[in-house]
Amino acid sequence: MKPLVPVSAPARVALGAGFFAMFVAAWAGVTYSGYVPPLFLASPGQTLMSGWSLLTEYGFLGDILVTIGRVVGGFLIASALGVPLGLMMGAFKPVEAFFEPFVSFARYLPASAFIPLLILWVGIGEAQKLSLIFIGSFFQIVIMVSVIAGGTRMDLVEAAYTLGAKSRGIVKRVILPSSAPLVMETLRLVLGWAWTYVIVAELIGASSGIGHMIMDSQRLLDTGQMIFGIVLIGLIGLVTDFLFKAANRWLFPWASI
């Protein structure tokens, strides 16, 4: 082991799978041994049985699709507005000076604190969930993209000016290609936060979704269903994480050169 020395792809897979195996083994050990009662922590087997029951008897697949749709919808709206604004702030300092104080202020406001207001303004329907995801994601995207765009190497910008580029060309030919891979990584991170916001939104005033199922299971003291819902969110997030990384390598191959 040496600092910053990468490992091979097979070794990475083996190490990652190894930790998951250790985690499940520890979970099985404390539950099957009776050290932790089933009321507080269901065993891996009971969790799988509860998940299978949810999918085959209670139509849980519909809740999963509803939650995914909410996350994707709110995240896409936040990205479509936040990325261009962040790029403008990073590229043009007057724009940054105008927007950054408010964006920096707003990004510290906890999105969950807006739930009572959102219910009052738009009710408990889909608009409330999408608005919460938007509030929680938009300002984070803006400030992070702004920092990325503002960190573009000045020697590249000066070289472009020397070759006759104008402001629009600098943004299009220098700042965008330089920032795009890191912007994609930023979106990958913020998507994980969006999942947190949607579950919080579904815990209050929702009649469908993974968060709604978890709350119903809590009332029934069914830890197997609760854990299955939590694990499922992690698995969906893991899949989207890999998809983002693959898309980043495919869209921006120059970033890995």
CATH code, domain with 145: 1.10.3720.10
> Is 179 contained in some domain?
yes
> Is 153 contained in some domain?
yes
- Residue 2 reports pLDDT greater than 60: yes
> Is 43 contained in some domain?
no
- pTM given for the model: 0.88
For residue 256, the model assigns a pLDDT of 60
> What pLDDT digit, counting tens, does each position of 33-59 carry?
988 888 899 999 999 999 999 999 988
For residue 102, the model assigns a pLDDT of 95
Q: Give the range with max mean pLDDT: 60-69, 123-132, 157-166.
A: 60-69
Residue range(s) defining the domain that contains residue 157? 63-210
Q: Can you tell me the distance from the alpha carbon of 137 to that of 106, in angstroms, rounded to the nearest whole number?
A: 11
> Is 9 contained in some domain?
no
> Is 56 contained in some domain?
no
Q: Can you tell me the distance from the alpha carbon of 212 to that of 225, in angstroms, rounded to the nearest whole number?
A: 12
For residue 257, the model assigns a pLDDT of 47
User: How many domains does the structure of the chain reveal?
Assistant: 1
> Is 23 contained in some domain?
no
- Residue 4 reports pLDDT greater than 80: no
> Is 185 contained in some domain?
yes
Task: Write down the mean pLDDT value for the chain.
Answer: 89
> Is 242 contained in some domain?
no
